[in-house]
Amino acid sequence: MSDDIQIRVEGRAGRITLTRPKALNALTWDMCLKIEAALDAWAKDDAVALLIIDAEGDKAFCAGGDIAVMYETGKAGDFDYGRRFWADEYRMNAKMFNFPKPVVSLMQGFTMGGGVGVGCHGSHRVVCETSQIAMPETGIGLIPDVGGSLLLSRAPGRLGEYLGVTSDRMGPGDAIHAEFADYFIPRDRWPALIDTLCENGDWEAVDRAAETVPDSPLKQAQGQIDRLFSGETLRDILVDLTHHDGDLRDKAMKAIGRNSPLSMACAVEIIHRVRLRDTIEAALEQEYRFTYRAMEHGDFLEGIRATIIDKDRNPTWRHDAPDGPGVADVAQMLLPLGTQALKL
């Protein structure tokens, strides 16, 4: 049995459990490949009625990807390691999104970045009282990826732009309002639910176990978010923010001041492009154009240095201010990759 992930069949359910609680169940390359193999095996296995994805520990379902090796290889000039990791991860994300059977994901604590790609593409996405879901990639010089741009593009109004730019965290009520999750079920009821699902494969047990959705601060702020984040570019959004005041505006500006200007500008553009095409394949294609270039031409390595290597939280971004990246900068990061394009 692997130390980082457990994959097995229990009764009518295919089960995937992330087992790295001390590392907040961060997703490794090997874990991505094992999940993909399980999806391939179970897709046409009549003995498997549904899929259950959960994780050990209380702090996190999955707090993101294990990116330390990406930093080491990237700093050494090896950009292919990260590109191959992302290509394999994105292929797995697409298979998760398109899996032909019900997928029940149980997401306690932190679900961020790569964790969203595992937990938020299923059909029955469950959160509890401790759930905190976010796409914080612009804070490390990346963009919301793993199919996250599709989720952001489908969020009500302009929540997608707000969440992608600010990296704001969503509690259970917010996650359901933003359509990153579907059900609220208290954590202490999960073991009984899992037993029922394994015993009879009846995914409607999730509906029966669901409780009233908690309040959503984002829902209450929806109108203001829609007004402030309706711009076509990051610069447009900044203009709108400059001409308003209030707590939400101040919170947004503080977050924007921390994150990579290039990443935020590209995130807005990707969300808009994906909203027009509305497929997981289109989302992953656009995301890969950016991540393919992120180490060599973006802020990714500097973002990782400041966040997890030196931990000084003081990155030196390629652009000095949020309004620094222009249309040409964004276009350069999102040009088609030709023969290097993502193959799903």
Active site residues: 65, 114, 137, 145
* Three-state DSSP class for residue 158: coil
Q: What share of the chain is helix, strand, coil (3-state, %, to 5)?
A: 55, 10, 35
Residues contacting residue 204 through CB under 8 Å, at least 6 positions apart: none
Q: If you write DSSP's letter for every residue of 61-79 in order, what string do you get?
A: EE--B--HHHHHHHHTT--
Residues contacting residue 69 through CB under 8 Å, at least 6 positions apart: 81
How far apart are the C-alpha atoms of 141 and 316, rounded to whole Å?
10
Q: What is the DSSP letter of 23?
A: G
Copy the structure tokens of residue 123. Answer: 């059909």
